[in-house]
Amino acid sequence: MCGIVGYVGQKQAAPILLHGLGKLEYRGYDSAGLAVREGEEITVVKAKGRLAELSNKTADGQAVPGNCGIGHTRWATHGEPSEINAHPHVSDGNFVVGVHNGIIENYQELREKLLNHGYKFYSQTDTEVAVKLVDYYYKKYLGTPIDAINHAQVRIRGSYALALMFKDYPNEIYAARKDSPMIIGTTEDGSFLGSDVPAILNYTRNVYYVGDMEVARLTASDVTFFNLDGDQIEKEQKVIEWDAESAEKGGFEHFMMKEIHEQPKAVQDTLSAYLKDGHADLSAAELDTEILKNIERMYIVACGSAYHVGMVGKYVIESMADIPVEVDLASEFRYRDPKLVKNSIVIIISQSGETADSLAALRLAKKKGIPTLAIVNVVGSSIARDADHVMYTYAGPEISVATTKAYSAQLIAVDLIALAAAAAKEVISDEREAELVKALQALPEQIEKVIENKERLQWFTSKFANEKDAFFIGRGIDYAIGLEGSLKMKEISYIHSEAYAAGELKHGTISLIEEGTLVIGIMTQDALFEKTRSNMVEVKSRGAYLMALTENGHYSIEDTADFVVYIPKTEPYFAPSLAVIPLQLMGYYLSLARGLDVDKPRNLAKSVTVE
């Protein structure tokens, strides 16, 4: 939620800030702003709406001179999207200028305190409170910016990534964070700051991750870090492996379509990282046979699509490895005082590694003394850093707000966990293990084949561009796939859709079926095929228009369904990796046919760092 950038160096800052904000627009896009400093002068420019408005207002940054600046693209939390609420916010006289990502929970209390000390507020944001709190401590103790920020950090509750400039300290940017992402990049002629890797990838791959409640001071030539006591600390520089090109559209009209096409590679790269000599090998996550053998229960906790991966994981792990699995939404898990049994593991799944609820769930599990495993895509993210074990997915940077390739890589991660645990517990034979590994290895090519048929889906989908509702039905793993298909459809096409366990329809939802209502039956599991077919016949007799999604060979479904999409045959466990592709494409084409912003659907943000 919200993206922040900063630059201090030899070059003109504003164009660099705008470029970085462009890469972070997926994090929020209801308003944007920047502050650039030239000598004593600090210029602040803000605009409501997309980043293009800010670019126009600043002549692509050329109209704002200076070599040191900070910028922000906003996803509103406190206060409506407006120019006044857009960042940067400033203290009177521009003593302190700041941008912020996150939520300051006690901002009302801090606001009251500052009002009592004569401060005035012009916006409804918690950010203005943070900036003025720093200003207050700066003036009260007459110390350094580091002291002032640290005093403020001690008082602020909530999550934040702050980038600040101080009038008295030209050519310096200060940064601090707690539970919101921030990275700092260095080059020979300047220092960069961003909420996420794509913001700085064009300039450098050498980065530092700012730790919770640490402060960084950026100058043109170096970056220095301080702890909460104000003491200087050493940090290790890391190298980002992602290349800049993989964060660009590469000839596709939208990031989402590009990322759909990158799924064979995401799956292949994730498989390659954990398949060694024909076995699932989780030693990179420090999970050896001994640890896996002793796990008696797994808890999978995640949000949104990652939660849907968890739903698939439950079916796969329980059946393949004979381990009971509970799946929870992170926002529920963290507040329900979960009873976690001994010899268990909590698995947090998150693309960004920054989702606030998932991070809180991870910390709760750790507090309860249960080992944690994070399945994460973004290297060095908060969840990756806090978890006891980390299994990275290798999807590369995902820019489109609606996840596709990260979801597919997460599916592979849970499949590999199931396989590794099944082998460790010796509940599958060597022959069976070999068959499963072979099926996993075939997936990248099979996904490629499914994508090749996209035109047929485009033709079909465009007929439903004006649909009001759609229903996805399936049983078992197919129900879990339906959940993801339904989310893909509604989040980017704004068509209301729901996923139902096919057997549940008769308990209420079937009354919503009218003449022509689109019902998508997912039928990849042989054992449940006929059961779901019966449910499809039930809705058809009430007027539904039926699409079936099934494996090659189930041609008899053409007697029941109006339109059929076939996917290649695979092991039933791995069918989600193939079946999700047509559903992602349907969401994409519906959004396109309705003329919507595919990559940046309304009200959403890629990284949900607020609860």
Give the active site residues: 2, 606
Closer of 306 and 598 to ligand F6R (Cβ) = 306
Cα–Cα distance measured from residue 53 to residue 64, given in angstroms and rounded to the nearest whole number: 15
Joined tokens for residue 223: 């970056």
CA 193 from chain center: how many Å?
Answer: 20
Closer of 113 and 366 to ligand F6R (Cβ) = 366
Joined tokens for residue 596: 């919507």
Which amino acid belongs to residue 139? K
Contact residue for ligand F6R among 303, 370, 411, 520 (CB under 6 A)? 303
User: Three-state DSSP class for 498?
Assistant: strand
Residue numbers 556-585 binding ligand F6R by CB under 6 A? none
Q: Is 305 in the site for ligand F6R (CB under 6 A)?
A: yes
Please name the residue that has the structure tokens 């099934």. Answer: 550
Q: Is 491 in the site for ligand F6R (CB under 6 A)?
A: yes
Closer of 1 and 54 to ligand F6R (Cβ) = 1
Q: Are 201 and 239 in contact (CB under 8 A)?
A: no
Please name the residue that has the structure tokens 């104000």. Answer: 230
Stretch that binds ligand F6R, among 68-76, 298-306, 319-327, 538-546 (CB under 6 A): 298-306
Residue numbers 178-217 binding ligand F6R by CB under 6 A? none
| Region for residue 271 given its phi and psi (left: phi exceeds 0; alpha: psi -120 to 50; beta: otherwise) | alpha
Nearest-approach distance from CB 529 to ligand F6R, in angstroms: 28
Nearest-approach distance from CB 295 to ligand F6R, in angstroms: 23
Closer of 73 and 410 to ligand F6R (Cβ) = 410
List the Cα angle 428/278/404 in 5-degree steps: 90
Stretch that binds ligand F6R, among 247-255, 302-310, 462-470, 552-560 (CB under 6 A): 302-310
CA distances from 477 to 105, 288, 330 (A): 39, 28, 21
The runs of H, that is alpha helices, within 156-286 are 255-261, 263-274
Nearest-approach distance from CB 355 to ligand F6R, in angstroms: 3
Closer of 350 and 408 to ligand F6R (Cβ) = 350
Closer of 305 and 525 to ligand F6R (Cβ) = 305
Q: Is 608 in the site for ligand F6R (CB under 6 A)?
A: yes
Nearest to 65 by CA among 91, 85, 43, 40: 43
Closer of 280 and 608 to ligand F6R (Cβ) = 608
CA distances from 412 to 284, 487, 576 (A): 15, 20, 10
User: Three-state DSSP class for 125?
Assistant: coil
| Secondary structure percentages of the chain, helix, strand, coil, to 5 | 40, 25, 35
Nearest-approach distance from CB 328 to ligand F6R, in angstroms: 14
DSSP category for residue 334: T
Cα–Cα distance measured from residue 260 to residue 597, given in angstroms and rounded to the nearest whole number: 16
Contact residue for ligand F6R among 133, 301, 384, 402 (CB under 6 A)? 402
Which amino acid belongs to residue 120? K
Stretch that binds ligand F6R, among 21-29, 171-179, 264-272, 344-352 (CB under 6 A): 344-352
Cα–Cα distance measured from residue 573 to residue 575, given in angstroms and rounded to the nearest whole number: 6
Nearest-approach distance from CB 291 to ligand F6R, in angstroms: 24
Which residue number has the CB closest to ligand F6R?
304
Q: Are 519 and 471 in contact (CB under 8 A)?
A: yes
Count of residues that interact with ligand F6R, criterion CB under 6 A: 15
Joined tokens for residue 237: 């520089």
Stretch that binds ligand F6R, among 352-360, 412-420, 525-533, 562-570 (CB under 6 A): 352-360
CA distances from 24 to 2, 68, 90, 248 (A): 8, 19, 22, 12
DSSP H or E stretch at residue 34: strand 31-38
Cα–Cα distance measured from residue 564 to residue 569, given in angstroms and rounded to the nearest whole number: 15
Nearest-approach distance from CB 269 to ligand F6R, in angstroms: 18
Please name the residue that has the structure tokens 């070999």. Answer: 434
Cα–Cα distance measured from residue 44 to residue 167, given in angstroms and rounded to the nearest whole number: 13
E strands, 409-544, in order? 469-474, 496-501, 518-523
Q: Is 355 in the site for ligand F6R (CB under 6 A)?
A: yes
Closer of 107 and 472 to ligand F6R (Cβ) = 472
Nearest-approach distance from CB 302 to ligand F6R, in angstroms: 6
Stretch that binds ligand F6R, among 9-17, 20-28, 107-115, 348-356 (CB under 6 A): 348-356
Closer of 145 and 582 to ligand F6R (Cβ) = 582
Nearest-approach distance from CB 572 to ligand F6R, in angstroms: 24
Nearest-approach distance from CB 168 to ligand F6R, in angstroms: 39
Contact residue for ligand F6R among 153, 358, 517, 577 (CB under 6 A)? 358
Q: Is 609 in the site for ligand F6R (CB under 6 A)?
A: no
Q: Is 351 in the site for ligand F6R (CB under 6 A)?
A: yes
Q: Is 306 in the site for ligand F6R (CB under 6 A)?
A: yes
Q: Is 352 in the site for ligand F6R (CB under 6 A)?
A: yes
Nearest to 384 by CA among 400, 362, 406, 369: 362
Which residues does 503 contact at the CB level (< 8 Å), separation at least 6? 475, 531, 535
Contact residue for ligand F6R among 331, 350, 372, 550 (CB under 6 A)? 350
Stretch that binds ligand F6R, among 73-81, 112-120, 201-209, 304-312 (CB under 6 A): 304-312
Closer of 72 and 308 to ligand F6R (Cβ) = 308
Nearest-approach distance from CB 491 to ligand F6R, in angstroms: 6
Binding site for ligand F6R (CB under 6 A): 303-306, 350-352, 355, 358, 402-403, 487, 491, 607-608
